[in-house]
């Protein structure tokens, strides 16, 4: 699985406010770049925290990009993928609309009734892991559904786990020229955090570009 993490953060590294409300951190040029990344990917992934906070649809907004995907024999939109150990995704969430396929990755801790509800709502449920979604295992199962590339949009809990499991290939971050603050506000990588220098993922800076009123940083991992 090729995994590209893409996010927008404030200068102080926050993905949103302490109230976990979605905020526009970057501008139109960055939104368009993100739309192109979605259009390139087989799947667009978030954690259930983002589904509950933002209720995103994760679809490609530009009609020409959707048309181009169809010309290439692909579905107009990439699949949506959510990491959701206990199947907490609401059955009326936008990611379960009819615009694209949706894979809900759950663990063995998910209640069968919740799984049934998600499947009735059109989702495909994939079980991997005991109490929490086992990401490497889940990605192998996604590959069996012809998903070979994922663009991950967040949030900070999921992104940390992906780095911890050494699953990230590429990282792009748009640093918007604003300060959000708040010790409880989500950052690019939350989770437990790494404690020793040897375990910090090594990133290689491949690009620095001014975009809107911020800066786009690109890394290979």
DSSP string, 30-47: HHHHHHHHHHH-SEEEEE
Nearest approach, Cβ of residue 21 and ligand NAP (Å): 7
Binding-site member from 59, 85, 89, 172 for ligand NAP (CB under 6 A)? 85
Strand 79-83 versus strand 102-106 pairing type: parallel
Length of the chain: 221
* Alpha-carbon span 139 to 126, nearest angstrom: 10
Binding-site member from 5, 39, 41, 48 for ligand NAP (CB under 6 A)? 48
* Alpha-carbon span 150 to 40, nearest angstrom: 9
Nearest approach, Cβ of residue 163 and ligand NAP (Å): 10
Cβ proximity to ligand NAP: between 88 and 170 the closer is 88
Nearest approach, Cβ of residue 71 and ligand NAP (Å): 29
Residues 138-157 that bind ligand NAP (CB under 6 A): 153-157
Cβ proximity to ligand NAP: between 60 and 74 the closer is 60
59 lines the binding site for ligand NAP (CB under 6 A): no
> Which whole-number Å values give the CA distances from 164 to 102, 160, 220, in the listed order?
25, 6, 16
Cβ proximity to ligand NAP: between 2 and 18 the closer is 18
Query: Which of these ranges, 77-85, 94-102, 192-200, 201-209, lies near ligand NAP under the rule CB under 6 A?
Result: 77-85
> Token pair of 62, please?
């530009």
Binding-site member from 79, 83, 95, 128 for ligand NAP (CB under 6 A)? 83
* Alpha-carbon span 143 to 167, nearest angstrom: 14
Binding-site member from 3, 39, 41, 46 for ligand NAP (CB under 6 A)? 46
Which residues make beta-bridge pairs with 46? 82, 154
Does 155 sit behind a cis peptide bond, omega within 30 degrees of 0 on the bond before it?
Answer: yes
- Whether 221 and 201 have beta carbons less than 8 Å apart is answered as yes
53 lines the binding site for ligand NAP (CB under 6 A): yes
Query: Which of these ranges, 19-27, 60-68, 73-81, 195-203, lies near ligand NAP under the rule CB under 6 A?
Result: 19-27
Cβ proximity to ligand NAP: between 19 and 220 the closer is 19
Query: Which of these ranges, 15-23, 93-101, 193-201, 203-211, lies near ligand NAP under the rule CB under 6 A?
Result: 15-23
42 lines the binding site for ligand NAP (CB under 6 A): no
* Alpha-carbon span 85 to 134, nearest angstrom: 9
Instruction: Compute the half-sphere exposure of residue 211: CA atoms within 13 Å on the CB side of its CA.
Output: 23
């Amino acid at each position: 699985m090729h995994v590209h993490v893409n996010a927008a953060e404030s200068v102080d590294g926050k993905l949103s406010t302490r109230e976990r409300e979605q905020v526009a951190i970057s501008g139109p040029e960055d939104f368009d770049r993100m739309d192109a990344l979605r259009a390139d990917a087989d799947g667009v992934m978030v954690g259930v925290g983002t589904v509950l906070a933002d209720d995103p649809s994760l679809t490609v907004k530009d009609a020409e990009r959707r048309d181009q995907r169809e010309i290439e024999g692909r579905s107009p939109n990439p699949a949506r993928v959510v990491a959701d150990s206990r199947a907490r995704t609401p059955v009326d969430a936008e990611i379960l609309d009819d615009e694209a396929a949706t894979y809900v990755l759950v663990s063995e801790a998910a209640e069968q009734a919740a799984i049934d509800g998600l499947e009735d709502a059109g989702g495909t449920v994939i079980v991997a892991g005991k109490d929490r979604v086992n990401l490497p295992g889940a990605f192998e199962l996604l590959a069996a559904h012809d998903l070979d590339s994922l663009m991950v949009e967040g949030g900070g809990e999921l992104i940390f786990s992906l780095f911890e499991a050494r699953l990230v290939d590429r990282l792009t971050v748009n640093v918007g020229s604003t300060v959000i603050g708040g010790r409880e506000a989500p950052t690019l990588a939350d989770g437990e955090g790494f404690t020793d220098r040897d375990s910090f993922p090594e990133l290689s800076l491949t690009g620095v570009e001014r975009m809107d009123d911020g800066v786009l940083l690109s890394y290979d991992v």
